[in-house]
């Protein structure tokens, strides 16, 4: 089992090294975009990919699996265009 806690220091440029075991556990790869958020006086780090997946999951909880939001948006835009 990998460590769930680690200690690190911030260098003079404000950089922090995320240990390799943590990056592996979270699926963080070189070049990934990270999202940083302060919540309850803690720094939370996630990847943009993880945030998008979570947003998609939240939307899917309220939309039928057979519904295409893209198709609905296109139809709505076409109707708006016809009304103009």
Interacting residues of 63 by C-beta distance below 8 A, sequence separation 6+: 69
Per-residue pLDDT tens, the chain, 84 aa: give them.
Answer: 467 888 999 999 999 999 999 999 888 999 999 999 999 999 999 899 988 989 988 988 888 888 888 898 999 999 999 998
pLDDT score of 29: 92
User: Model confidence over 42-53: pLDDT tens digits?
Assistant: 999 989 998 898
Spatial distance between the Cα atoms of 24 and 21, rounded to a whole number of angstroms: 5
């Amino acid at each position: 089992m990998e460590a769930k806690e680690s200690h690190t220091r911030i260098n003079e440029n404000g950089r922090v090294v995320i240990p390799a075991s943590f990056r592996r556990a979270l699926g963080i790869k070189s070049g990934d975009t990270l999202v940083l958020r302060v919540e309850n006086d803690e720094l939370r780090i996630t990847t943009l990919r993880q945030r998008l997946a979570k947003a998609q999951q939240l939307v899917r909880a309220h939309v039928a699996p057979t519904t295409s939001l893209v198709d609905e948006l296109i139809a709505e835009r076409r109707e708006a265009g016809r009304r103009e």
